[in-house]
Structure 1
């Protein structure tokens, strides 16, 4: 693994580049974007380490505002900024002599699935797309996620936080996760069980900038799905996040060169850190990529 840096709209991003041993020619590369509030050491690394063994160069990176990457305010969740960061990651990859610029693959995990879908819908340098346990965004899924009152409350608080930030420069924060409370960015015991251990290790910060919700809740993936032209593999399950939204997202993608792998009872968080589940997912992803090499 090589620590790398690259620019995204004037912000320095830090990533980990994985290169297969004994390369003899430019090689296909995969750019990976992870879940909401992620840092690169979490689920993206699990996929990167496995995909490099399948012969792919892989890049994980901290998006703006989190981890080792720059950007202010910290812990600001902005999906469209992440789309820009994916574009910048591709710019970086194609600048590397080891990379076959005609074979750039995209992989999104959870909320990263929507980000990567949006990036692929406008950047044809992404030749093949795969998404895993996606959080796909339309009005129905947002209502299923937060409810009518919850959406309205979060947006109202975010607007007030933005007004304060613009007036006096103060950033208002809440916890990103909590085992019991619902007034956090990502409520739920299962989410806490995953992220809490990273916070305890000091490798992930349990903070969320309240101004994020203005940008987060404006983000939708339905339009992007309708514009995806790349061969597309979706991996999801009955117990992954909002399965009905995954079906809608998949159905919106045009064409026939797409595949839905519905993996029964796997839980959402198993796609983050369960070795057996990830091994199987990576095998299917690698097979899909290899079928579509240029």
Structure 2
């Protein structure tokens, strides 16, 4: 699976692509859409900061509630740094900004693991009113510990998320955070995080409001499941998402042997490598308690390489 379409909404607002220079047309009211700002990947007529400047002249920034940053050129060679700098420079003109997604690119523009990010925490530091923040791409991503009083949702999508980034997120203070979604990815693409790097997330001490936890798209899904089996944070979750990864019978058995999960509203395990016996055990343990259990998209193991079994995450390159 690849990322094959752009976001069609953000923060409950429909996406609207800001027109290219010279294109006519009426613009919607600033607060009614999630504005998507992007340039052509190859030989763009404008650089992203120029598009943003033109956007600022055409739209009342004080009323903008949601922004989607698309391609900023050849993202596999050019980082998001100039995007971050342009937005930080305009922070006083965006008092109503509540949602921001950085890196809305399809595989045709840049494979997810080729998107070059930068230090994105200045966006959190300079936009205290943000409620929703998302990033796509782990290459070059920097995320030192930060505190944000208002953030409710944090999403980091990657084909490989570095251990240092995971530790930075885990060490951050987000007292209002309700939803945390991390795509940990594969070590083939820089995803070298270990369960120990998630320790502060699993303890839950910095995330008192957390109700939805997704640790997914991971090649170490079994080990993550084992760590979650006794993690304090699980007891207060509504939704636990371990989907899109390489979860096998070993990880599922660890979940069943650990703390009760019957309080969950939903357990998402889609794209897994579970046998029918473990699937049946999960259904028998959770569905009578009213837990919505997603076991769709069982993966097919590959043994093409000299008899060695291979399992694949949903989104890698």
TM-score between the two structures when normalised by the length of structure 2: 0.30
- Higher RCO, 1 vs 2 (CA within 8 Å, ≥6 residues apart): 1
Larger helix share, 1 or 2: 1
In terms of Rg, which structure is larger?
2
